[in-house]
Amino acid sequence: MGSGNVVETTTTTTTTATTTTSSTFMSDFIGKCGGNVVIDGGFATELERHGADLNDPLWSAKCLVDSPHLVRRVHLDYLDAGANIILTASYQATIQGFEAKGFSKEEAEALLRKSVEIACEAREIYYDRCTKDSWDFMENGRTSRRPILVAASVGSYGAYLADGSEYSGNYGDAITLETLKDFNRRRVQILANSGADLIAFETIPNKLEAKAYAELLEEEGIEIPAWFSFNSKDGINVVSGDPISECVSIADSCKQVVAVGINCTPPRFIHGLITSIRKVTSKPVLIYPNSGETYDGQTKQWVKSSGNVDEDFVSYIVKWREAGASLFGGCCRTTPKTIRGIATALSDKN
Ligand SMILES: C[S+](C)CC[C@H](N)C(=O)O
Ligand SMILES: N[C@@H](CCS)C(=O)O
Ligand SMILES: [Zn+2]
């Protein structure tokens, strides 16, 4: 496990394998955070705000190669804004994607590890700064630090395709369960052993990919927890058209999955989706919507959605909490300002 967080695990020895489950990992963490967890905001969005050019098949993962200082800077921006969970820059970091750019397999694997190293380093810098500036507070004579987890991001296969396919989930008939498992196998192994506290499977657009991740976690005996986060463009199904209930059921049945929810989805759909998810699972629910704009995979630009206007969603956070979510952040086109607003809205409620 990553440093700084105590996790209760129960170890079950069977005749064939040793499995480690962590059923209380997320509920313990939510408790340590006072009942609500703040996730970070749009990572690539903030990289771009600092001047990064992400018009590249690697998208934000390009910065692992050419500007790691910006990656660290963005993590610190979100920590300063109040995040309890920061996601690594590995959303579009795949061994296959790095190899296509001329890196060796070893170099590609090192870049995946580097994404976690930078996030862990940012957490240490943040904690050191807090200590120096005496931001820590004393509780029963002991110094107490804001709990912070590093989540290793795994973007979907559609992200690797680098054409916005994570918003259609349409991979064609050639892509099977086995293709998806094999595509992700080494990446997931590396990230699971990188020092991250959990794996964040993000922007999962279809049921097939959820099934592939669940089977992969089981087959590889992955010992750190994971969350599954889906995206939707109608508030009823995930983007491929697969019912959200069926996707969430897959996450619910997977013992390594400690939270399930929705990301990179317009705010106007979030309330209904939380209600639908709640009907299928008692695992903690996470939400980190985008701004409500639409991504154009050809131009790699965000465009205003016609007809539907999503306002700044910070004012909805309390309602989403009442609907049953307990982890809240932002995805594309949200910023540290959004995250600071979420942290304030939740602390006002505590
Ligand atoms: C979450 S989307 C905005 C990431 C970028 C996309 N996979 C692309 O490469 O165009
Ligand atoms: N963690 C990624 C998700 C993109 S949908 C990011 O914020 O850039
Ligand atoms: Zn997003």
Residue 66 forms part of a structural domain: yes
Testing ligand 2's pocket by substitution, the residue of 54, 59, 90, 91 carrying the most ligand atoms inside 8 A of its CB is 91
CA of 241 to the centre of ligand 3 (A): 19
Residue 291 forms part of a structural domain: yes
Show the CA angle centred on residue 201, arms to residues 199 and 205, nearest 5°.
Answer: 175
Q: Can you give the pLDDT at residue 140?
A: 55
Residue 309 forms part of a structural domain: no
Number of domains the chain is built from: 1
Testing ligand 1's pocket by substitution, the residue of 165, 295, 303, 332 carrying the most ligand atoms inside 8 A of its CB is 295
Q: What are the angstrom distances between the C-alpha of 164 and each of 49, 133, 160, 172, 295?
A: 21, 43, 9, 14, 7
**Which run of H or of E encompasses 227?**
strand 226-230
Q: Can you give the pLDDT at residue 306?
A: 77
Residue 336 forms part of a structural domain: yes
Which is nearest to 314 in space by CA: 287, 284, 278? 287
Boundaries of domain holding 271: 25-297+315-349
User: Which ligand 2 atom sits nearest the alpha carbon of residue 200?
Assistant: 1
Give the separation between CA 42 and CA 334, rounded to whole angstroms: 5
For 297-348, the pLDDT digits (tens) are 999 999 998 777 677 899 999 999 999 999 999 999 999 999 999 999 999 7
| 3 residue type, one letter | S
**Residue 264 marked ligand-binding:** yes
Q: If DSSP codes are grouped into helix, strand and coil, which group holds residue 313?
A: helix
Residue 130, domain CATH: 3.20.20.330
Residue 85 forms part of a structural domain: yes
Instruction: List, in order, residues 6 or more apart from 302 with CB less than 8 Å away.
Output: 291, 293, 294, 295, 296, 332, 333
What is the DSSP secondary-structure string of 140-164? TTEEE----EEEEEEE-HHHHHTSS
Residue 179 forms part of a structural domain: yes
CA of 1 to the centre of ligand 1 (A): 29
* Phi and psi, residue 143, nearest 5°: -75, 135
Structure tokens at 270: 């979030």
Q: What are the angstrom distances between the C-alpha of 15 and each of 9, 10, 11, 85?
A: 19, 16, 13, 36
Give the separation between CA 65 and CA 108, rounded to whole angstroms: 10
Task: Please give the biggest Cα pair distance in the chain.
Answer: 61
Name the H helices within the chain.
25-32, 43-49, 62-66, 68-81, 95-100, 105-132, 157-161, 177-192, 207-219, 244-253, 270-278, 317-323, 336-349
Ligand 1 pocket, residues with Cβ under 6 angstroms: 59, 92, 159, 162, 164, 166, 203, 264, 295, 297, 300, 332
Give the separation between CA 274 and CA 266, rounded to whole angstroms: 13
User: What torsion, rounded to 10 degrees, do the Cα atoms 36, 251, 58, 99 define?
Assistant: 140
Residue 307 forms part of a structural domain: no
**Residue 331 marked ligand-binding:** yes
Cα torsion angle, 203, 207, 209, 214, sign: positive
Tens place of pLDDT per residue across the chain (350 aa) = 333 333 333 333 333 333 444 689 999 999 999 999 999 999 999 999 999 999 999 999 999 999 999 999 999 999 999 999 999 999 999 999 999 999 999 999 999 999 999 999 999 999 999 987 755 555 555 567 899 999 999 999 999 999 999 999 999 999 999 999 999 999 999 999 999 999 999 999 999 999 999 999 999 999 999 999 999 999 999 999 999 999 999 999 999 999 999 999 999 999 999 999 999 999 999 999 999 999 999 999 999 987 776 778 999 999 999 999 999 999 999 999 999 999 999 997 65
User: Is residue 287 within 8 Å of residue 328, measured between CB atoms?
Assistant: yes
* Partners of 151 in beta bridges: 87, 198
Give the separation between CA 237 and CA 252, rounded to whole angstroms: 17
User: Is residue 221 within 8 Å of residue 186, measured between CB atoms?
Assistant: no
Task: Give ipTM to 2 decimals.
Answer: 0.99
**How many CB atoms lie under 10 A from the CB of residue 254?**
21
Residue 202 forms part of a structural domain: yes
